[in-house]
Amino acid sequence: MDLHSKANAVIEQVNQVILGKTDQIRELMLAFLANGHVLLEDIPGVGKTTLALSFAKAMDLEMKRVQFTPDVMPSDLTGFSVFSRQQEQFVYQQGSVFCNLLLADEINRTSPKTQSALLEVMEERKVSVEGVTREVPAPFLVVATQNPYGSAGTQKLPQSQMDRFAISMTLGYPDFQSEVSMAKEIGAGNRVDQVKPVLRADELLEMQAQIHQVMMNDQVYRYLVKLVTNTRLHPFLEQGCSPRATIALVKMAKAHAWLKNRAYVVPADVEYQFPYVAAHRVVPNMAAQMEEKSVMKILAEILRKTKKPPVGAKS
């Protein structure tokens, strides 16, 4: 089985657990292929934790989960040193970030100090504790969740940290038939236990390396940058996308093309990934609120008004 088939096999395995969410599962796989972190903004109980567990098992990755609360300390993530009487010296104890897939559950419920502890490891894939820098295992991916409702007692993520996530997305409620199927299987055992490992960590790293070999011509590059630039010029946006968004969009577009077994990016790849990359990075202004313009409506307008190059076919 080649790597493209194995990537699709991972998606199939997770589809058996999370019913009726094929597009979202595929998008999460694309983010992993692009070596990017994911922000899931959703209400409790829609399967965010199960989704992460299913991916970890299908890709045979070591996963850790941190339930963020106000008393979670930065050292819980990065690690700390304790004195060992046997060794008569301080011994470093690894924190939660030393894994392949970190589920940061309800990240907006912890303190800004703890939130910022994730910044270095998300960007650099390493942590610095007591003057010593240590690399986390590769691959290293963060799936963070936050509830967009009930903001009392939460600490809103600053834009500098939001920018570290390659994409944001929502699962939403299952469709009617999927929820019926889920109801019928209550008591039949944990569906995650049925997931089979179909991919190794080293194969995921190889896939991530192949993403960079996907070609993109100058016309598509210019279209991509024009989309990002237009978020900075839009009259309803107080803040547009940063250059980091450009980097993320290039990677996500290439991953989208790679998963379709194409060696080149077409404008439709960029168009499809743009809302996922941009939605959490832009900040609507007061005019947008008065006109009841949602972020997704604004991004759709930018896509509609930005001229696409006549390259490739619709994906």
165 CB neighbour count, 10 Å cutoff = 24
Give the integer Cα–Cα distance in Å for 109 and 103.
Answer: 14
Domain boundaries, the chain: 3-204, 212-305
- The mean per-residue pLDDT over the stretch 242-250 comes to 95
Q: Is 42 left (phi over 0), alpha (psi -120 to 50) or beta?
A: beta
Per DSSP bridges, beta strands 283-284 and 141-146 are unpaired
Contact 204, 36 (CB under 8 A): no
Q: Is 85 left (phi over 0), alpha (psi -120 to 50) or beta?
A: alpha
Contact 257, 268 (CB under 8 A): no
Q: What is the pLDDT of residues 49-77, one digit of tens each?
A: 888 889 999 999 999 998 888 888 888 88
Give the integer Cα–Cα distance in Å for 186 and 217.
Answer: 50
Structure-token pair, residue 126: 């390493």
CATH H superfamily, domain 212-305: Magnesium chelatase subunit I, C-Terminal domain (1.10.8.80)
Per-residue pLDDT, 207: 96
What class has domain 3-204? alpha beta
Confidence of residue 315 (pLDDT cuts 50, 70, 90): very low
Per-residue pLDDT, 314: 47
To the nearest whole number, what is the mean pLDDT of the chain?
A: 87
Q: Please indicate whether residue 274 or residue 151 has the higher confidence score (pLDDT).
A: 274
Full-model pTM: 0.89
Contact 246, 30 (CB under 8 A): no
Q: What is the pLDDT of residues 80-136, one digit of tens each?
A: 878 777 777 778 788 889 999 999 888 888 888 888 888 778 888 888 887 788 889
Q: What is the pLDDT of residues 267-287, one digit of tens each?
A: 999 999 999 999 999 998 888
User: What are the start-end ranges of the E strands in the chain?
Assistant: 38-41, 63-67, 79-84, 89-94, 101-105, 126-129, 132-135, 141-146, 167-169, 237-239, 283-284
- Cβ-count burial of 132 within 10 angstroms (0-12 exposed, 13-18 middle, 19+ buried)? exposed
Confidence of residue 149 (pLDDT cuts 50, 70, 90): low
**pLDDT(174) > 80:** no
136 CB neighbour count, 10 Å cutoff = 19
